[in-house]
Amino acid sequence: METVEKIKQQIAEHPILLYMKGSPKLPSCGFSSQASQALMACGQPFAYVDILQNPDIRAELPKYADWPTFPQLWVEGELIGGCDIIMEMYQKGELQELIKETAERNPQTDSE
């Protein structure tokens, strides 16, 4: 599968998806750590892709998304942004609302 197709499929399959360095429990950079902490604090399940384990995605996603850095938060197929935007939204209470509404619209059939 082409890398861009794989990215499109991941974004389509997961209503809340974080591309990050490492995993939420073991992040490999401070920005990914902050972003995943904010998402976990929203209390809803979310998917993630460790770009350090997926160098093809790490190379292609910035071009596809037109966003140069990681982490990247995608909600219902739309790029929300990176760490600064995630943290700003979290501090304003906007992220919690967005994640809650998205989770309600997309109930998880089983956890990933």
- 17: domain CATH number? 3.40.30.10
Q: Is 84 annotated as a binding residue?
A: yes
Residue 25: give the domain boundaries.
3-105
Whether 110 is in a domain gets the answer no
Whether 111 is in a domain gets the answer no
Whether 23 is in a domain gets the answer yes
Query: CA nearest 41: which of 90, 85, 98?
Result: 90
User: How far is 56 from 74, CA to CA, in rounded Å?
Assistant: 18
Q: Is 58 annotated as a binding residue?
A: yes
Q: Is 92 annotated as a binding residue?
A: no
Question: What is the pTM for the complete model shown?
Answer: 0.94
Q: Is 8 annotated as a binding residue?
A: no
pLDDT confidence band for 109 (50 / 70 / 90): low
pLDDT of residue 112 exceeding 70: no
b/e per residue, 14-26, with b = 16+ CB within 10 A?
A: bbbbbbbbbbbee
Per-residue pLDDT at 110: 46
**pLDDT tens digits, one per residue of 23-77:** 999 999 999 999 999 999 999 999 999 999 999 999 999 999 999 999 999 999 9
Whether 37 is in a domain gets the answer yes
